[in-house]
């Protein structure tokens, strides 16, 4: 496995290949990322993982400075997972001058859910992802479904900008108790870690109610309010806990019936102490 830090090294190494498969990451890798690398391997003739903590997608009060940088351990894990090339540019390499040109995704998709609570987040994501796409020139890229909205935003960017890249979603990996694997789980105290599973349980309960009670869109606001109240009583600060259509993340229209529930996804973001966690399940 080659570890390269500059665009020149990356280009010269990738010259020998025609179909790179890319897994973009911010490092501090866990099994979930490695599963994406394994998924990427058969999609191209060389597997590239990028590691870059992208300042553009962090608001000033967020965890950019304390986001763990663990390059050596990340590379060891990537090598074991069969990755061929790690692209780990410095900030000066990726942003040699202030990034004035940015990719601004459409408000109807990017200003809701995560985008509502983290204004500018998806502009930062799309800008760095497009830049990584230009640098690596992959024919396929894999993004985790845990960041569900990010996956949809990137898919739409690729489609609207006619980029010749296949975007694949990777299933969320979970700890034995159901907590979705995330780099941010490391911020949880031992007691918060025990409690953290409640977020996934709330999603499971909502999905179970929708399926067993045959709920329709008209029933969803009450279901969401009830689940939010229960999590809040357990000590969570809930940003959202909501049922949306998978394709565009809009609320299912009232005209839909229970038979369309297979196209829905239940999404949540909530804070436990100082740690903000997100999760989702497709119905």
What does the binding site for ligand PAF look like in residue numbers (CB under 6 A)?
24-26, 54, 57, 125, 128-129, 147, 150
CA dist 100 and 131 (Å) reads: 13
**Nearest distance in Å: CB 25, ligand PAF:** 5
**Nearest distance in Å: CB 57, ligand PAF:** 6
- Choice between 53 and 234, CB closer to ligand PAF: 53
CA dist 68 and 274 (Å) reads: 16
Do 224 and 205 contact (CB within 8 A), yes or no?
no
Q: Which residue has the tokens 């996956």?
A: 151
**Nearest distance in Å: CB 190, ligand PAF:** 25
- Choice between 224 and 279, CB closer to ligand PAF: 279
Running DSSP on this structure, what letter comes out for residue 54?
-
Running DSSP on this structure, what letter comes out for residue 62?
S
**Nearest distance in Å: CB 131, ligand PAF:** 10
**Nearest distance in Å: CB 117, ligand PAF:** 15
Do 252 and 243 contact (CB within 8 A), yes or no?
yes
- Choice between 31 and 177, CB closer to ligand PAF: 31
Helix axes 7-14, 121-136, angle to 10 degrees: 50
- Choice between 125 and 158, CB closer to ligand PAF: 125
Contacts of 68 (CB under 8 A, 6+ apart): 27, 28, 183, 186
Active site residues: 33
- What separation in angstroms does the CA of 164 have from each of 118, 133, 154, 167, 170? 29, 10, 13, 10, 19
- Choice between 29 and 281, CB closer to ligand PAF: 29
């Amino acid at each position: 496995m080659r570890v390269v830090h500059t665009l020149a090294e990356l280009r010269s190494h990738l010259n020998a290949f025609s179909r790179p498969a890319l897994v973009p990451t911010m490092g501090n890798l866990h099994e979930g990322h490695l599963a994406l690398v394994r998924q990427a391997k058969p999609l191209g003739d060389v597997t590239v993982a990028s590691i870059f903590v992208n300042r553009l997608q962090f608001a000033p009060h967020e965890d950019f400075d304390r986001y763990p940088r663990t390059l050596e351990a990340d590379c060891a894990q990537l090598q074991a997972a069969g990755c061929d090339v790690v692209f780990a540019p410095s900030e000066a390499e990726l942003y040699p001058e202030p990034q004035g040109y940015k990719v601004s995704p459409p408000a109807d998709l990017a200003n809701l859910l995560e985008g509502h609570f983290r204004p500018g987040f998806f502009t930062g994501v799309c800008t760095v992802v497009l830049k990584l796409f230009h640098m690596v020139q992959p024919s396929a890229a894999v993004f985790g479904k845990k960041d569900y909205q990010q996956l949809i935003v990137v898919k739409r960017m690729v489609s609207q900008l006619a980029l010749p890249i296949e975007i694949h979603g990777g299933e969320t990996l979970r700890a034995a108790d159901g907590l979705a694997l995330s780099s941010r789980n490391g911020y949880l105290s031992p007691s918060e870690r025990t409690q953290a599973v409640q977020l996934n349980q709330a999603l499971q309960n909502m999905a179970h109610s929708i399926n067993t009670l045959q709920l329709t869109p008209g029933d969803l606001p009450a279901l969401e309010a009830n689940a939010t109240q229960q999590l809040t009583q357990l000590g969570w600060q809930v940003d959202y806990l909501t049922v949306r259509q998978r394709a565009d993340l809009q609320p299912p229209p009232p005209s839909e019936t229970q038979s369309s529930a297979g196209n829905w996804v239940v999404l949540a973001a909530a804070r436990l102490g100082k740690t903000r966690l997100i999760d989702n399940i497709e119905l």
